[in-house]
Amino acid sequence: VALLRSIDSVKKVADSLELNDQKVGAEIVLKALEAPMRQIVANAGLEGALVIDKVKSASNSSEGFDASSETYTDMIQAGIIDPTKVVRTALENAASVAGLLLTTEAGIHDAPEDKDSMPAMPPGGGMGDMGGMGGMGGMM
């Protein structure tokens, strides 16, 4: 909820920026601030945009969405809080990585692989060859 509440402040900063690159960066941060709640809501099988809009428009600054009960509640009273240091560190690390990517000439990543949901079965459906009983005369 705190990340969603910080969106208005980031928008004010974004509007005051003059360089286009900085504005693009601020827009990325704005989207990133919604991402954790959007993912939590998606994991609960609901539509993130609807929940985010409702939480953003709530008059109580600590009102949020409890995904386990699929209800809107006061997050502090419900005991659902993120430690500030964890959230701050995550934001700092994300900004650091973003800055690194922006100043890097090229990036390398693995191509996505088409993975089957289950590994292929051995031919015939049985176990593979176990090599026989070597060392026992007359058994081969």
Q: Pseudo-torsion of CA 112, 113, 118, 121, nearest 10°?
A: 180
Domain spans of the chain, in order of start: 2-102
Question: How much is the pLDDT for 135?
Answer: 59
Question: How much is the pLDDT for 51?
Answer: 94
Q: What is the largest CA-CA distance in the chain?
A: 89
Question: How much is the pLDDT for 103?
Answer: 86
Q: How far is residue 4's CA from residue 39's CA, in Å, rounded to a whole number?
A: 13
Q: Taking a C-beta distance cutoff of 8 angstroms, is the pair 92, 80 a contact?
A: no
pTM to 2 decimal places: 0.62
Q: Taking a C-beta distance cutoff of 8 angstroms, is the pair 1, 60 a contact?
A: no
Domain spanning 2-102: which CATH class is it, in words? Answer: mainly alpha
Question: How much is the pLDDT for 105?
Answer: 80
Question: How much is the pLDDT for 49?
Answer: 92
Q: How deeply is 1 buried, as exposed, middle or buried, from its count of CB atoms within 10 A (0-12, 13-18, 19+)?
A: buried
Residues near 75 by beta carbon (within 8 Å), at least 6 away in sequence: 1, 62, 63, 64, 66, 81
The tens place of each residue's pLDDT in the chain, 140 residues long, gives: 888 888 999 899 989 998 888 888 888 888 889 998 999 999 999 999 999 999 999 989 899 999 999 999 999 999 988 888 888 898 888 888 888 887 888 878 888 887 766 666 666 655 655 666 665 555 55
